[in-house]
Amino acid sequence: MISVVSLVILVTIATGQHICDNQDTQRANPPVTSIPDYRVYVYDLPPRFTSDLLNCANLRNYCFDLRHQGMGEQLYQDGPLSIRDTHQFSLEVLMHHKLMHSTRRTNNPSEADLFYIPFYSALTCFCRQGDYDQLEQLYAYLRGEWGAHFPSKPHFGILSKIEREQYSVNCPTLRHPDSRLVTWVGIEQEVVENNRKYYNVTGELVVAPYPSYGHFIQGENITAPALHSWLYNHTRTVRVFMAAGERRSNPFRNLILDQFPPATDVSYTEHMAARGRGEETEMVWLKTPECQGRHRNTTMLWMKHAVFCVQPSGDSPTRKSFYDAILSGCIPVIFEFKNKVKYPFSASIDYSKFTVSIPEENIKAGVSILHVLNRVTSDQIKDMQRHLVAVAPLLQYSYPPLTRGHHDAVDMILHEIAKNVFYKDNSTANTAEGNEGNTNQTIQSKNLDPTSNTQPLASNSRDSHDEL
């Protein structure tokens, strides 16, 4: 078991604090210790809702690899991390396998407090676009075969695609009335509230981390100091790194791309061989075309040798690369917009402690990202790196899905669901600003204005961004 994970979980559960927060907090949300013990029942759905969709995806040869419990083949191992060909839309398959092996699982539905519906809704979007009839069949099955439990008992399901896409015509999971009776877990909640209202999407999505390339290996015994040493015992020769496709999908993204030198597809090793050992590089843009190239083998190593990892928005404001950066010890650089992004587990994790946030207006005014980041002091960098070590295990999905040593994002997700079920009246909407319900927020975000001659100012605002 990864002991650093146990340590972080222990601090959070025992105190109800933000992870990385040294101050006592009084929270609107209850600490995890006050949540009663609970059990999860996993439905054994007919294969048309699970394995048939998985086979369809494999037959159609989509570029994602959903083998090995949804985590894809192992590309290589780097210390305590298994680097795997994990696709950003693999959460449904991954969570199904994880929950099948969870210590919270019960095979007796009468003992269950929560019921998990393992419907692969995102694969339906790829294989049976616009198939509303399948949703009718799913809920008819639950009401018929399991009418004693659905919808009277708490149910939850997983969305592998962003929320906005899952109430579209081609991907109509959230359009069905019975879907409003289910608590949904997904990688991104729609940031424009009017869009959610238009489609009558109610309630808060339980936001989960995108599945990263990196997975802590179950059974590895690594302490927090050892993890810190593994991440930071080498020179990070790249000051600012960005993994992004060359597609110019929106004007703001274009402004960010224009600040970088031309994109490269070489590996970090090849780059250093060409430049000379130990020579530092200011900015690198690794191009990551979807379903093409070799970047799946090179992205994490680049990040492991970079200080800052810039996260440009794409088709939506969040991205898998944000979590790749965290697991590589690379400080994410995000951008503030009017519509705030909801980050995973923000009632427990203080994102302001390990990210740099730059206001949208600064970029539009022509402010240099490199200049902003060069003003971050070495002490501030070390502090953010220390916090990255604390949170990284909780924002990833360990491999393999063993019943023991299960402390990872799955534990955090289940506690979020249980909290919503047992304390629905006390729940508050959490944003990455550090939990608006918290009466004692910390304000450690590095909101940097390079036009000022003063030291970086603290701020609570942030945003995150899209894949590829």
Q: Which residues contact 327 (CB under 8 A, 6 or more apart)?
A: 81, 212, 213, 214, 300, 392, 395, 396
Rounded to two decimals, the pTM is: 0.85
| The token pair that represents 18 in the structure block | 């933000």
Paired strand residues for 69: none
Note whether 282 and 357 are same-domain residues: yes
What is the average pLDDT value for the chain, to the nearest integer? 84
Mean of the pLDDT values across residues 416-429?
71
Calculated CA dihedral for residues 162, 390, 299, 343, nearest 10 degrees: 20
Note whether 164 and 247 are same-domain residues: no
The whole-number pLDDT of residue 243 equals 98
pLDDT band at 19 (very low <50, low <70, confident <90, very high): low
Note whether 58 and 148 are same-domain residues: yes
Q: Cα–Cα distance between 257 and 264 in angstroms, integer?
A: 13
The whole-number pLDDT of residue 403 equals 56
| The token pair that represents 105 in the structure block | 């699982």
Percent of the chain with pLDDT over 90: 69
Q: Cα–Cα distance between 186 and 157 in angstroms, integer?
A: 9
Digit-coded pLDDT (tens) for 3-14: 433 333 333 433
The whole-number pLDDT of residue 36 equals 80
Indicate the range of 29-33, 54-58, 259-263 predicted with least confidence: 29-33
Note whether 403 and 391 are same-domain residues: no
Note whether 420 and 333 are same-domain residues: no
Q: What angle do CA 466, 329, 325 make, to 5 degrees?
A: 10
Note whether 416 and 373 are same-domain residues: no
Digit-coded pLDDT (tens) for 266-282: 999 999 998 876 678 99
Number of domains in the chain: 2
Digit-coded pLDDT (tens) for 289-329: 988 889 999 999 999 999 999 999 888 999 999 999 999 99
Mean of the pLDDT values across residues 404-419?
86
pLDDT of residue 176 exceeding 70: yes
Digit-coded pLDDT (tens) for 85-144: 999 999 999 999 999 999 999 999 999 999 999 999 999 998 888 899 999 999 999 999
Q: Is 431 contained in some domain?
A: no
pLDDT of residue 444 exceeding 60: no
Digit-coded pLDDT (tens) for 353-384: 999 999 999 999 999 999 999 999 999 999 99
pLDDT of residue 439 exceeding 70: no
Mean of the pLDDT values across residues 389-417?
87
Q: Is 417 contained in some domain?
A: yes
Note whether 115 and 9 are same-domain residues: yes
Give residue 306's domain range: 223-395+442-459
- The CATH number that applies at residue 313 is 3.40.50
pLDDT band at 21 (very low <50, low <70, confident <90, very high): low
Note whether 55 and 194 are same-domain residues: yes
Q: Is 285 contained in some domain?
A: yes
Q: Is 352 contained in some domain?
A: yes
Note whether 250 and 281 are same-domain residues: yes
Report whether 290 contacts 245 (CB < 8 A). Answer: yes
Q: Is 59 contained in some domain?
A: yes
Mean of the pLDDT values across residues 421-434?
51
Mean of the pLDDT values across residues 255-270?
97
Note whether 229 and 298 are same-domain residues: yes
Q: Which residues contact 414 (CB under 8 A, 6 or more apart)?
A: 38, 40, 102, 104, 114
The whole-number pLDDT of residue 34 equals 63
Between 58 and 312, residue with greater pLDDT: 312
Q: Is 386 contained in some domain?
A: yes
Note whether 118 and 62 are same-domain residues: yes
Q: Is 418 contained in some domain?
A: yes
Note whether 371 and 413 are same-domain residues: no
Q: Is 467 contained in some domain?
A: no
